[in-house]
Amino acid sequence: MKRQGKHNKNVMIFGKNSGMNKTTLDVGRAITAALLLIMSAVAFAQTFPSRPIRLVVPAAPGGGTDILARLLSPELTKQFGQQIVIENRAGGATMIGTEFVARSAPDGHTMVISTTPHAINPTLYRKVPFDPVKDFTMISQLGLTTTVLVVHPSLPVNNVKEFIALAKARPGQLTAGTAAGNSAYLAVEMLKSMAKLDAVNIPYKGAGQALTDLVAGHIQFQVNTLLAAKPFIERGRLRAIGVCSANRTNALPNVQAIGETLKGFETSGWYALLGPAGIPREITLRIHDGFAKSLRIPEITKRLADQGVEVTAGTPDELNRIMPLEIKKWGEVVKSSGAMPG
């Protein structure tokens, strides 16, 4: 009996030791799995990209976002060694194209050039089909953009003061056209509110379509990115009468800031690169580096500067910090502009 008891005791002691060994084994397995996962991610990043990269422009062709994507595309092809496929998915105040990217595989092969509406829409619209932060991998703030108030040359005005006087003399007769929900749309609404103007602001599917109608004389004025509008300004097909930034821009040094006439008026936009949530960190950094190198090529930087775009090429961490602040800031702008939620 004693031997049996002793034997049982030994069995129990062995069982405790076995438990300790099992715990150690489980920890070891977890560490091994984590290391394999890291090694796999690094290996995946080293082979990225493995196929053409789809770059979604959530707007119609011809607008500032589309122009930026097509300007960068040849250099990005060199940087990544794969074709860059630009895909215009317009509509829903950029939400259609942006949602498409949010639902895509997080492997780095599908991205969107996002603009200010990404921060505006959560306040301007009652229903947004994604979380503007949680559903995306923040890759880079590409640049800051200048927007400009332009009129058709047939309109007999040369500055903001004259424009306001004419609009008040023709209540309800002047028509603007801007892409629905973007910073230009809000700029027109702010202008109407601050100057107490009775004018129509038609929401277009994309800024490019609105620009075409303005050049054709179907509408009388709009706010658009300088990147899109400047070629028409230089050819005399549009007249710039005010920039929306706080100060005058070197790209149009003789055009006043709207705030010089309307104290406190200021809006500015940006371009940012986003991917679906869950892109591995190593791939995110690889994408950022490719875009940053392309943007910092002197010829591209200068061309963008001449069109009112200041290259920033910010890091993923910087964009993660900036985006929530932009959503808050533009939420306040929406409320102060008088724009009604859709």
Identify the pLDDT of residue 11: 43
End-to-end CA distance of the chain: 85
- Which run of H or E residues covers position 56? strand 53-57
pLDDT of 41 over the 70 cut = no
pLDDT of 336 over the 90 cut = no
| 5: confidence class by pLDDT, cuts 50, 70, 90 | very low
Cβ 115 vs Cβ 182: under 8 Å: yes
Identify the pLDDT of residue 9: 46
Over range 238-248, report the average pLDDT.
94
User: pLDDT digit string (tens) for 194-239?
Assistant: 999 999 999 988 888 999 999 999 999 999 999 999 999 999 999 9
Query: How many CB atoms neighbour CB 309 within 10 A?
Result: 28
How far apart, in whole angstroms, are the C-alpha atoms of residue 320 and residue 140? 9
Calculate ∠ Cα 330-238-94, nearest 5°.
35
Identify the pLDDT of residue 333: 85
| 337: confidence class by pLDDT, cuts 50, 70, 90 | confident
Pairing of strands 269-276, 175-179: unpaired
Identify the pLDDT of residue 179: 86
Q: DSSP for 214-280, please give it.
A: HHHTSSSEEEEEHHHHHHHHHTTSSEEEEE-SSS--TTSTTSPBGGGTSTT----EEEEEEEETT--
How far apart, in whole angstroms, are the C-alpha atoms of residue 108 and residue 129? 21
Tokens, residue 244: 């929306």
Query: How many CB atoms neighbour CB 182 within 10 A?
Result: 31
Q: DSSP for 18-45, please give it.
A: HHHHHHHHHHHHHHHHHHHHHHHHHHHH
Cα 47 → chain centroid:
27
Tokens, residue 295: 């943007």
Identify the pLDDT of residue 210: 94
pLDDT of 274 over the 70 cut = yes
**Would the CATH topology of 53-144+271-327 be identical to that of 147-260?**
yes
Q: By mean pLDDT, which of 36-45, 72-81, 158-167 is the weakest?
A: 36-45
Identify the pLDDT of residue 3: 46
How far apart, in whole angstroms, are the C-alpha atoms of residue 249 and residue 260? 13
Dihedrals φ, ψ of 337, to 5°?
A: -75, -20
User: pLDDT digit string (tens) for 62-121?
Assistant: 889 999 999 999 999 999 999 999 999 998 989 999 999 999 999 999 999 999 999 999
CA-based nearest residue to 231, from 63, 43, 23: 63
One-letter amino acid at 162 equals E
User: pLDDT digit string (tens) for 15-24?
Assistant: 445 455 656 6
Spans of all domains in the chain: 53-144+271-327, 147-260
Q: Number of helices (H) and strands (E) in the chain: give both, helices first.
A: 11, 11
How far apart, in whole angstroms, are the C-alpha atoms of residue 132 and residue 118? 7
User: pLDDT digit string (tens) for 299-322?
Assistant: 999 999 999 999 999 999 999 999
Identify the pLDDT of residue 12: 42
Identify the pLDDT of residue 30: 60
Kindly report the CATH number that applies to the domain delimited by 53-144+271-327: 3.40.190.150
CA-based nearest residue to 74, from 312, 297, 306, 339: 297
Identify the pLDDT of residue 2: 44
Which pTM was predicted? 0.80
Which residues on adjacent β-strands are paired with residue 151?
Answer: 221, 239
Higher pLDDT, 246 or 46: 246
> For the chain, how big is the Rg over CA atoms in Å?
27
How far apart, in whole angstroms, are the C-alpha atoms of residue 67 and residue 115? 13
Q: Write out the CATH class of domain 147-260.
A: alpha beta
How far apart, in whole angstroms, are the C-alpha atoms of residue 156 and residue 149? 14
Percent of the chain with pLDDT strictly greater than 70: 86
Dihedrals φ, ψ of 272, to 5°?
A: -140, 150
Which segment, 33-37, 43-47, 132-136, is predicted with the most confidence on average?
132-136
Q: By mean pLDDT, which of 6-10, 139-143, 271-275 is the weakest?
A: 6-10
104 contact partners, CB below 8 Å, separation of at least 6: 110, 275, 276
Q: By mean pLDDT, which of 60-69, 126-135, 151-160, 331-340 is the weakest?
A: 331-340
